[in-house]
Amino acid sequence: MDTDREEKGGQLFAWVTAPIVALILANLLPVGGVLFFGWNVFQIVFLFWLENVMTGILTLLKMLVADPTSIRMWFNKIIMIPLFFFEYGMFTFVHGILVLALTLVDNRTVTGDNWIPDALKTVMDPYLPWVAGMLLASHTFSFVWNYMGKGEYRKASLENLMNRSFSRVVVLHLTVLFGGSLMVVLKAPVAFLLPLVAIKIILDIGRHIHQHAAFGPKNIAKDLQGRKIYEKQN
């Protein structure tokens, strides 16, 4: 009985790894910005947009080092890396404009032809670069720990890396952007940002677990089979 309980307890907390702990701690930093530095909705949403840029850069790096011994993979990279850079870059650019446009709704000083520089001044805070740097450190730690340290780069496929990156942006950041927009329109207090941060943490953890579970034996076999089919067709 005790052995069964220990096994169940081990399974319950099996998802708690060093990268996930770092991810949770990094995501709690914006909460400190709200509680102690008086951050507003614009600064939080802008920070999440910056994180979007970080994950895009890391995805490019993952694609670059994926399966480095495969000659065919390098030929695929010549096409798919620039394609991802263009598509993800355009999506991020439009997303960034929408984030800055939030400041137009509630900030009368952001007007005229120079609204983008004025909006940037509104969202910038002396502590924001430090928090953004810690978020980047969290993602970099996961990249080094899981992707490189555990050899995931040897089994990764370019298609999966691209799809996971876009799915994260669509589900997570549009949710945050939509929630932030509602807060501005409804004049909700800044404290309502905390549930948004909690939702983001849950989505991040779920994405992290799903992403790295994809490198389990069963999913690796599926990826390898799919890659062989793709290579035969091309």
Domain boundaries, the chain: 40-233
Using a pLDDT cut of 90, give the percent of the chain over it.
13
- Any idea which of 11-20, 109-118, 155-164, 169-178 has the lowest mean pLDDT? 11-20
Q: Return mean pLDDT, the chain.
A: 75
d(CA 141, CA 23): 9
d(CA 46, CA 49): 5
In degrees, rounded to 5, the angle at the alpha carbon of residue 160 between the alpha carbons of residues 157 and 166 is 140
pLDDT at 198: 78
The answer, as to whether pTM is greater than 0.75, is no
> Which range among 155-164, 178-187, 188-197 has the greatest average pLDDT?
155-164
> Which range among 63-67, 98-102, 214-218, 224-228 has the greatest average pLDDT?
63-67
Say which residue, 183 or 220, is predicted with more confidence: 183
d(CA 119, CA 103): 6
d(CA 59, CA 163): 10
Q: Are the C-beta atoms of residues 104 and 23 closer than 8 Å to each other?
A: no
